[in-house]
Amino acid sequence: MIEAGIAILVVWIILYIYSIAGSIDFGSSFWSMYYGKRNTKAGELANRFLSPTWEVTNTILVLLVVAFMGLFPKGIYMLGTLLLVPVSLILLLIIIRSAFMVFSYSVSGYRNVLRVVSGITGVLVPALLISALPVTQGGFIDIVDGTEVLLFNKWLTSPVVYMYMLFGLSSALFLSSIFLTDYANESRDEKAYLTYRRNSVVLGPATLVIAMITLSVLNPEAAWFFDQLQRYRGWFLLSIVAFLIGYSALWWKNQHGFKKGRPRVSVVMVALQYFLATFAYGAAHLPYIVYPHLRVQDAFTNINTFYSLLWTITIGTAILLPGFIAFWRLFLKDKRYLRQK
């Protein structure tokens, strides 16, 4: 059914946007904590970026949950039941992080403590979020009295799960580093620029290697998925090419007089890299949401609800888009905000 295909595409697009925005947001929390303790320019820059942006990331997360819940109610029910413990922990961490992010800008006496809490939760959340992916590939679910149950001990001790978590963490740190490199470039902050550029140079290849290892050590029950991935080798190769272009741009001549690097090109090409790779990953996972228990078609809502939700999401996005554009111009492009001392 074409409607189910459109629905999963909508969810995937929102998921991709959140994965990029969330990785930058969570990774920046870690850098704010790490460099903030040293009172460096890099810490100030990360803190300046986080101040207005974490609310936007939470908004995208809400949109993702609403879209998935409305378009695939059986999918959200099964995943919510199977992953009750990790999902509850993720929600708790996001609530704690959001609360501390609010207070960190109003209670100056506790700012350092609150920054540490935000940084730690910013590391844990992306790792826990991506730990759900191995569950959907098979091998972690048992049927008890006709109900799907997560093999929690197997999930908790699986090397595959921890490789996914390591990839989620490295991606958050890499994406945030390369974005903050561009942010420092726009702010004309050379010290912060060199710091985050150095982090990007180290984390880029490390993240790529971790991704390759992660996909090569899948569980035997996920052999079907590994075979499916081979059909999309071209997409993965293109993603590597995009990475190489973006990575090499860190050595191109800088237009602002810094020593080297064109970080805006790097940000765009790395975002393209993740777009190509996640598209190939998602396409290889079809037609299953949770293998072998739930297919996209089986989890899909009814047609009337689909069209109603599609219009709602479209109208909601149209309403939010001007706000996002204004936000971008005010906090990510306005020279007075970027170059404040």
Q: What is the number of domains present in the chain?
A: 1
Q: Which domain holds residue 53?
A: 2-338
Q: 6 vs 330, which has greater pLDDT?
A: 6
Mean per-residue pLDDT over the chain, rounded: 87
pTM of the model: 0.91
Q: How confident is the model at residue 339 (pLDDT cuts 50, 70, 90)?
A: low
Three-state DSSP string of the chain: CHHHHHHHHHHHHHHHHHHHHHHHHHHHHHHHHHHHCCCCHHHHHHHHHHHHHHHHHHHHHHHHHHHHHHHCHHHHHHHHHHCHHHHHHHHHHHHHHHHHHHHCCCCHHHHHHHHHHHHHHHHHHHHHHHCCHHHHHCCCEEEECCEEEECHHHHHHCHHHHHHHHHHHHHHHHHHHHHHHHHHHHHCCHHHHHHHHHHHHHHHHHHHHHHHHHHHCCCHHHHHHHHHHHCCHHHHHHHHHHHHHHHHHHHCCCCCCCCCCCHHHHHHHHHHHHHHHHHHHHHHHCCEEECCCEEHHHHCCCHHHHHHHHHHHHHHHHHHHHHHHHHHHHHHHCHHHHCCC
pLDDT at 341 over 60: no
Q: What band does 307 get if pLDDT is binned at 50, 70 and 90?
A: very high
Query: Has residue 142 got a pLDDT over 70?
Result: yes
- The tens digit of pLDDT for each residue in 162-206 reads 999 999 999 999 999 999 998 888 888 888 889 999 999 999 999
Q: Residue 115 above 90 pLDDT? A: no
